[in-house]
Structure 1
Amino acid sequence: MNLLRDNDLIYGRLQQVDEPHLIARYNKALVAFGLKPTELESFEIDRTGFSPQVAEELGDLLYLDPNEINRRFIILTPSQAGLPVVHTAFSNTSQLLYEFMTKNSRAIDALTIKDVIYGEIEDSVSKVEDIEDLLSINQVEFKVLSAEDVLGKASELATLIDRLKQEPDAWRDNGMLERMVELAKVTGDIRENALVPDHVIFRHNAFWTSHFGGLYVFIDPGMTTVISDPSAPGFRRSRPWQVSYLSINDTELVFRFLAETGRIELPRASWVESSGYLEHRAEMVIRSLIHQSEPQRNIARADKVWLQTWIHAHADIINSDGAFPFLNAAKREIAQLGQIKLDDVEPGKRFLVVRAAPAHPDAWLTNRLISEFVPTDFVSTYVFNKQGFYKNYESYNESQRAAVVELLKTTYLKEKEAFRMRLYGLSD
């Protein structure tokens, strides 16, 4: 993974923690979780407070995610809200934490001046044993603590302030007044600085989870759809009137579900021609065929001319695979008719020419699912399914890794937002 690290393709954009007081606060949170404090003098954290370096030191990649449920978090600074989440068992952990931090920004700003915030994203189950456990999670609650108990002291002070206002003789209680002064030295004026997060419950909507080899849950009015391997425990076992179970191996059914629920954008000239989407897919197909037929060839610096020459020289391989000719035919059909008739296209190839509907709230999750059906497009896999990308990367030889890193570095990393907008219609 060193090549990925060196090019910011793994654990990129994390925040450096090297100030002694912040490390001390982080250690207080670790100890509160029953973990050994870090001896590192510098490490990096993501939005949740997860640190690759601390995980390596502890020998536990799941030190903030025991049982991969009820995810723990450590917040040292409000700026964590702008960081990525690099390790999680649920795809919506990042969004849930972002909502928590933005909706409670005043309290977090004030608290992190004095203290570290830590806790759990708690849901209704403590361990996932089958699909029904996952489906029972309708909402999550942030259980929030602070190492110096600033939260508890702020709550106590608020109670005493209310008592002072409500009870006519409360001002005569010198012990209470002294306690209020003592608390205010820690909390400051809580009338001006809100210290207690008051938005702690959030909806648990559509998501992907790493449980059972990878499982998708999509939610529509009156029906929840589970897409996974049929071997997952609990598959098709309960509530058929509320839950639809689709095998991720059934390409046609999965495509039909995404199309019928408006989650995908069908191939039409209005977006295909300006996006360069089919050209991108075609290049990914050719690169994959080169790696398959000539595993040791290094194409890290291959340009369009070189790729075109290879295409002309290997027509038999390309025609046997069929994906590249299909994409060329699709491009011609769109130019002539403005769209493609997908009814006559075999299900496996349909995913080559569609993307998630950008305006749909499940767009990122849908693009992640689409990427599973287009394994040749490692760029889309990297953008939407980093766990899948890293798993695939481990199987590549050195030449393949060099080519993959070079292309990601010169395309996606060079202009992330513009790249996502052009190909997928997504601004963030």
Structure 2
Amino acid sequence: VAGELENTVFELTSPARLFDIRRITVVADTTGNHLAEAEKLSRLVERFRTEEDAWWNDVLIAEMIALAEKTGDVTRNPVALKATTYDQGNFWTAHFGGIYIFRDLDHPAAISVGPKEALGQLPVRYVFGLGDRNQIAKFLEINDLAEPIVSAPGADASAILRQKMDFIVVAAAAELGLDIGHGSRRDLRQAAAALGARLPEAFQGLAALLRWVETGGPWPRITSAHPSYFYTLRAKPHADRDLVNMLLAELSPLDVRQLFICHKELFYHLYRSWPEAKKEYVADYLEREYQIDKAGARSRLFGPEPAMEETPAIPGWSRPGRGDILDAVGPWGAVRKERR
């Protein structure tokens, strides 16, 4: 079964036209057009039953037989998929190099994957590029869209941080042609030791945060300018959770698990250029750790699915106060010296 997206915008002559898209209709059919053919056959069957002298209409009977060979017996096994229409306020599009459009927020913005200057005039005040890390961090904070993994309810922060660090080690080792063995935790520790000072800054930042989580070490000052910053966040439970996690995956592409779950198009684009050792490790990991329990993995990483309500916040979850750790992580707040 394949789906087709329909909307009322028939041409995109400029990025600004994307903001005219408000309602999406999903029309489903099989790749062989079986559903459309089945609907046509149903109409012919109704004609055959109701028209006078239909038994002697050879053309009608021949057309019914030809369609039935494709669709089967639709009178006994009717097949129908209803078109689904829904409003889409915030979304990502691959058009114009890739754009994240957040317009239905208190502080709307557009985030461009390519050069933001190429977008021209847009009907929102703020337009960022992926390199505008401080602005994107502030945008996520003032719209209450993201939370630190270390303070996220129900998250096993240690396990999540360690796995992110493993992915970074694999990427760095594979680029330098270092052996990662079978990719076990022991093999990756040895690879990390061999890399030493060549380990990326993103790894160093996550390692410092892990020490704070596990041993009560000093609170690391990780601002939005630090390469590890967006690796430390996940979307809060709200209607745009998947979109925000998709954006965070693009901002932290070495976390291949989140990239695969949240942004498959980018995952497969990057996969083609990876060294063979990294391809092999990632494919084995996803098959072994993710594919066997997709729902469980998503819940552990991103929390339970948000309630399908007009008010997306889960009851009992309040907005962060001034002392929330998100303020401490970002460049707009004070650094917390002690572990709480």
Structure 1 residue 338: Cα displacement: 11
SS of 1:306's equivalent in the other structure is: helix
Q: Which residue of 2 aligns with 1:253?
A: 135
- 1: CA distance, partners of 2:135 / 2:217: 26
Gaps of 5+ in 2: 29-34, 56-63, 65-72, 307-340
Q: Which residue of 2 aligns with 1:147?
A: 37
Q: Which residue of 2 aligns with 1:303?
A: 184
CA-to-aligned-CA distance 1:69-114 (integer Å, 9 cap, x gap): xxxx4xxxxxxxxxxxxxxxxxxxxxxxxxxxxxxxxxxxxxxxxx
CA pair 201-312 structure 1, distance change in 2 beyond 3 A = closer
- 2: CA distance, partners of 1:424 / 1:218: 20
Q: Higher relative CO (CA 8 A, sep ≥ 6), structure 1 or 2?
A: 2
Residue 136 of structure 2 aligns with an amino acid whose one-letter code is V
- 1: CA distance, partners of 2:217 / 2:120: 40
SS of 1:376's equivalent in the other structure is: coil
Larger mean Cα displacement after TM superposition, 268-277 or 256-265: 268-277
Q: Tell me if structure 1 keeps the 8 A contact 2:146–2:235.
A: yes
Residue 304 of structure 1 aligns with an amino acid whose one-letter code is R
Larger mean Cα displacement after TM superposition, 268-277 or 386-395: 268-277
Q: Tell me if structure 2 keeps the 8 A contact 1:131–1:233.
A: no
- 1: CA distance, partners of 2:86 / 2:211: 47
Q: Tell me if structure 1 keeps the 8 A contact 2:23–2:88.
A: yes
Q: Tell me if structure 1 keeps the 8 A contact 2:205–2:222.
A: no
- 2: CA distance, partners of 1:406 / 1:187: 43
Q: Tell me if structure 1 keeps the 8 A contact 2:38–2:74.
A: no
Structure 1 residue 146: Cα displacement: 3.0
CA-to-aligned-CA distance 1:106-156 (integer Å, 9 cap, x gap): xxxxxxxxxxxxxx54312222222122110111346798336559959x9
TM-score between both structures, scaled by the size of structure 1: 0.55
- 2: CA distance, partners of 1:335 / 1:125: 52
Q: Which residue of 1 aligns with 2:233?
A: 354
**Structure 1 residue 406 and structure 2 residue 296: aligned?**
no
SS of 2:228's equivalent in the other structure is: helix
**Structure 1 residue 265 and structure 2 residue 144: aligned?**
no
**Structure 1 residue 286 and structure 2 residue 169: aligned?**
yes
- 1: CA distance, partners of 2:107 / 2:243: 17
Q: Which residue of 1 aligns with 2:198?
A: 317
CA pair 147-369 structure 1, distance change in 2 beyond 3 A = same
Describe how 1:323-402 pairs up with structure 2 within 5 A. Answer: 323-335=202-214, 344=223, 346-357=225-236, 359-402=237-280
Q: Tell me if structure 2 keeps the 8 A contact 1:378–1:389.
A: yes
SS of 1:355's equivalent in the other structure is: strand
Q: Tell me if structure 2 keeps the 8 A contact 1:153–1:187.
A: no
- 2: CA distance, partners of 1:230 / 1:354: 23
Structure 1 residue 232: Cα displacement: 6.1
Structure 1 residue 293: Cα displacement: 1.8
Q: Which residue of 2 aligns with 1:416?
A: 294
SS of 1:226's equivalent in the other structure is: strand
Aligned residues: 281
CA-to-aligned-CA distance 1:146-204 (integer Å, 9 cap, x gap): 336559959x99xxxxxxxxxxxxxxxxxxx757x99xx9997xxxx99895x754212
CA pair 235-407 structure 1, distance change in 2 beyond 3 A = same
Gaps of 5+ in 1: 1-46, 49-72, 74-119, 158-176
Residue 421 of structure 1 aligns with an amino acid whose one-letter code is S
Q: Which residue of 1 aligns with 2:104?
A: 220
- Aligned-CA RMSD value: 3.9
CA pair 424-265 structure 1, distance change in 2 beyond 3 A = same
Percent sequence identity over aligned pairs = 22
Residue 301 of structure 1 aligns with an amino acid whose one-letter code is H
Q: Tell me if structure 2 keeps the 8 A contact 1:130–1:234.
A: no
SS of 1:412's equivalent in the other structure is: helix
Structure 1 residue 348: Cα displacement: 3.3
Q: Tell me if structure 1 keeps the 8 A contact 2:24–2:88.
A: yes
Q: Tell me if structure 1 keeps the 8 A contact 2:150–2:213.
A: yes
- 2: CA distance, partners of 1:338 / 1:316: 21
CA pair 392-219 structure 1, distance change in 2 beyond 3 A = same
